[in-house]
Structure 1
Amino acid sequence: MLEVLPQIALLLILAAFLAGFVDSIAGGGGLITVPALLLAGASPIEALATNKLQGTFGAATATVSYARAGHVDLRQQIGMAGISGIGGALGAGVAHLMPAEFLRLVMPVILVAVALFFAFKPGLSDADRVQRMRPGIFALTAVPLIAAYDGFFGPGTGSFFMLAFVMLAGFGVLKATAHTKLLNFASNLGSLAVFVPTGAVWWWVGLLMAAAQVAGAALGARLAMRVGARLIKPLLVVTSTAMAARLLWQVWA
C-alpha cells in the first residue's frame, strides 16, 4: 500500500513535522520535505507533487490558527487567495518551459538578500508600517508573481511573500506571517490541482506526511503568535540562509 518501506515512511513523517513547524513561522518547509522525498526514491515530479499535497495541509492548518487568533480576516483576503491559487496553477503548468538551472543560480542570491534585510533592517516589529502599494495593485502584481514561482519552483515562497507584505503592504512581521500562510495555502492548492491529473502524487505517503505537517504547523503557529517578531525574524534569517546554502550546494554538486 505504501509507496516506500515503513521505516522510510517514518523518516518522511518526521521530516514533514519539522517542515510544518518551520514553514508556519518563516516558510521554507519544502527545503526539508522535497530533498527527503528525493532521497526516498521519488522522481523530481513525484517529489514536487507529493510535497504540494502534504504542504497544502500544513499551510491550511497555520492559516486557520492565525485566523482564529484574529491575525487575518479570511473573508477580506479571499480575492487575493484566489489570485494566488491561479498563479500557483499557472506556474505548475509552465514548469517544463523554463530551465530550472537559471532559477537555481539566481535564487540563492535573492534568499541571502532576504536574510540580510530581516537581520539588519531596523525597526521591524509586529507593528504595521507605511503602506507603499495599494491592496488592489499588490494583489494583481506581487501576489501572482510569487504564487507562480511557487508552482514552478517553490523554495523561498514564504520568505518572498513575507518580504512583500512587510515592504509593500506595510504589514507588521506577525501580521505578514499570518497573511503569507493564506496565500501559500492557495498557491499550493492551485499547484496541486495541476499535479494530481499527472498521477505523480504519492497519496499514502503524502497523506501521512500531511498529518505530521498539521501537527508541526499548529505548534509553530502557536509559538509565533506567542513570541511574535522575536521568534519570526531570527528563524526567517536562518531559514533563508539555509535555503540559499542548499540551492548553492545543488548547483555546485
Structure 2
Amino acid sequence: MDHLFAELPAFSSVLLPLLVAAFVAGLIDAVVGGGGLVQIPALFTVLPAETPATLFGTNKCASVVGTANAAWRYARRVRMPWGTTLPAALAAFAFSFLGAMAVAWLPKESLRPLILALLIGSAAYTYWKKDFGSLHAPAHGGMREKVYAVTLGAVIGFYDGFFGPGTGSFLIFLFIRFFGFDFLHASAASKVVNVATNLAALAFFVPTGHWIPALALVMALANMGGSVVGTRLALSGGSRFVRKFFLVVVGAMIVKFAWDTFSR
C-alpha cells in the first residue's frame, strides 16, 4: 500500500486531520449538506502547496462517495419523490458545467454578499415558521412538477458548478418551500441532486488530473463512514431533528460567509 501514497509529502502527518475532516463532512452532508465547510478548509490548511483546482477535485472525489452512499440509504428507507428528484438531478448535472464555464468571466467574490443574504433569509424563514418542513405534502404533479424540478436543478446546478458552498442546504430549503416536502424527504432528494452535480464536476477534474488519487480514496472511505452515521441520525430523528440540524449548519455558514465577506 505504501506506493499509493508516494505522491503525498509527509503523508502520515496530513492523513489523520483529513480523515477526521472527511468523516465529519460526510456526517453533516448526509443530514443537511454543508460538509464542504469542514472538508475544503481542512484540505487548504493541511496541503497549502497544492493548487486550488487539485484540492477541489480531491474534495469532490471524496464527497461524491459519501453523498451517493447517503442517497442509497435514504432510498431504502424513504419513499423517494423521483418525479421531482430525477428531472432536477439531470438539469443540475448539465447546468453545473455552465456554472464552471462562467467562472472565467464573472468573479466569484461578487456573489458572497448575495449568498450571505440568501442564507440569512433561509435561516430566518425556517426559524420563525415553526411548521416549515414538518409535513410531507408534495405540491405539484405532472408536467408542472417536472418543469419546476428542472428549473430548480438548473439554478442549483449552475450555482454548484460556479461557486458551491451551501448547495445541499439550499436544495433542502427549496424542496420544502416550493415542492411541499418535509425535511426528511427534502434531505433525501437533495442527495440525489448533489450526486449529479458532483459527478459533473468530476468529469472535469479527473480527466485534467486535478486530484490526488491516493488521498481521494482514503478520504472517500472516511466520508462514507460519516455519511452512514449521518443518515442513521436523520432517519431515526426524523424531520424535527433534520430541521434543528439545518438551522445549526446554516448558522455556521452565515458566520463563515460574514467573516469572508467583511474581513477582506
Q: Is 1:99 aligned to 2:96, yes or no?
A: no
Alignment of 1:149-168 (within 5 A): 149-168=159-178
| Deviation at residue 127 of structure 1 after TM alignment | 2.0
Alignment of 1:72-221 (within 5 A): 72=80, 77-129=85-137, 131=139, 134-221=144-231
Are the equivalent residues in 2 in contact too, given 1:71–1:178 (CA < 8 A)?
Answer: no
What is the aligned partner in structure 2 of residue 247 from structure 1? Answer: 257
What is the aligned partner in structure 2 of residue 61 from structure 1? Answer: 69
Superimposed CA distance per residue, residues 88-133 of structure 1 (whole angstroms, 9 cap, x where no aligned partner): 2222233232101111222122112111122221212442246268
What is the aligned partner in structure 2 of residue 30 from structure 1? Answer: 36
| Deviation at residue 231 of structure 1 after TM alignment | 1.3
Superimposed CA distance per residue, residues 131-186 of structure 1 (whole angstroms, 9 cap, x where no aligned partner): 26831122221111111111111111011111111011111111111000110111
| Deviation at residue 25 of structure 1 after TM alignment | 0.5
Q: 1:69 to 1:140 in 2, by over 3 A?
A: same
SS of residue paired to 2:206: helix
Q: Measure the CA separation in 2 of the matches of 1:56 and 1:144.
A: 19
Q: Measure the CA separation in 1 of the matches of 2:116 and 2:174.
A: 18
Q: Measure the CA separation in 1 of the matches of 2:33 and 2:98.
A: 21
Q: Measure the CA separation in 2 of the matches of 1:167 and 1:125.
A: 8
Q: Is 1:11 aligned to 2:21, yes or no?
A: no
Are the equivalent residues in 2 in contact too, given 1:22–1:220 (CA < 8 A)?
Answer: yes
Q: 1:163 to 1:179 in 2, by over 3 A?
A: same
Q: Measure the CA separation in 2 of the matches of 1:95 and 1:115.
A: 27
The residue identity in structure 2 corresponding to 1:248 is: A
Number of equivalent positions: 253
What is the aligned partner in structure 2 of residue 232 from structure 1? Answer: 242
Unaligned runs of 5+ in 2: 1-5
| Deviation at residue 207 of structure 1 after TM alignment | 1.4
Q: Measure the CA separation in 1 of the matches of 2:159 and 2:105.
A: 13
The residue identity in structure 1 corresponding to 2:106 is: M
* Aligned sequence identity (%): 34
Are the equivalent residues in 1 in contact too, given 2:133–2:176 (CA < 8 A)?
Answer: no
SS of residue paired to 2:55: helix
Are the equivalent residues in 2 in contact too, given 1:93–1:194 (CA < 8 A)?
Answer: no
Superimposed CA distance per residue, residues 40-67 of structure 1 (whole angstroms, 9 cap, x where no aligned partner): 2233222221111111111101100000
| Deviation at residue 74 of structure 1 after TM alignment | 5.5
SS of residue paired to 1:197: coil
Give me the TM-score of the superposition, normalised by structure 2: 0.89
The residue identity in structure 2 corresponding to 1:59 is: T
Are the equivalent residues in 2 in contact too, given 1:57–1:210 (CA < 8 A)?
Answer: yes
Between structure 1 and structure 2, the one with the greater Rg is: 2
| Deviation at residue 236 of structure 1 after TM alignment | 0.8
